[in-house]
A and B are shown apart, each in its own frame.
Chain A
Amino acid sequence: GQQVMQIPQYQHVQEGEDFTTYCNSSTTLSNIQWYKQRPGGHPVFLIQLVKSGEVKKQKRLTFQFGEAKKNSSLHITATQTTDVGTYFCAVNNDYKLSFGAGTTVTVRA
């Protein structure tokens, strides 16, 4: 089964507000990747985190890898309609790439 749990499964956000989605593992991870899938589209790579406590930013998106390398978060500030979609975390599991169930984000204008 999936090695990582993602919460929440759905996130309904008012435009302009912030939200966070989380990815949790019971085991220590070597690295974690985040992907975004727009409605009707295919997953597209956003970023990879490798180091303990690592924080990376992409404009309004902030990605964080936990100190114990067992969890990660994606925080979006000032949500826009372009943020609509499903965000997946993905981990290397015996060199397979395994995905969480995703957080589907909808935005209220």
Chain B
Amino acid sequence: DAEITQSPRHKITETGRQVTLACHQTWNHNNMFWYRQDLGHGLRLIHYSYGVQDTNKGEVSDGYSVSRSNTEDLPLTLESAASSQTSVYFCASRRDRGNTEAFFGQGTRLTVV
């Protein structure tokens, strides 16, 4: 069955380190998203991509970057981790830009100490 997987599921890192969270989907979806979830804020969009070589900033993109070198993967990089980036991160994908449902990964819990 097609799926979307995130790794690692849990990560503890130190302030200032570069961290990359992986997201891999096997649906061949063009659209992929990264969200962070914090209490009281719901799901906030970090970056998104509509296809290979396309990346766009979301509402909370500062300190994060993504790359899309193939259809299946959208890795999220924290350039220099900060304590404010402690959060649960979700990757999602959907078939196209419009009226289609999004499928979410299991999430990565990141703690920056």
* A contact set with B: CB distance below 8 Å: 1-2, 6, 9, 30-31, 33, 35, 41-45, 48, 50, 88, 90, 92, 95-102
Contacts and interface: CB of A to CB of B under 8 A. Distances in A.
A101 B104 contact: no
Interface residues of B, number: 26
B109 to A, nearest CB: 10
Interface string B1-33: 000000000000000000000000000000001
Contacts of B102: 33, 35, 43, 45, 90, 97
Interface of B: 33, 35, 40-45, 48, 50, 56, 58-59, 90, 92, 94, 97-99, 101-107
A29 to B, nearest CB: 11
A88 B104 contact: no
A31 B48 contact: no
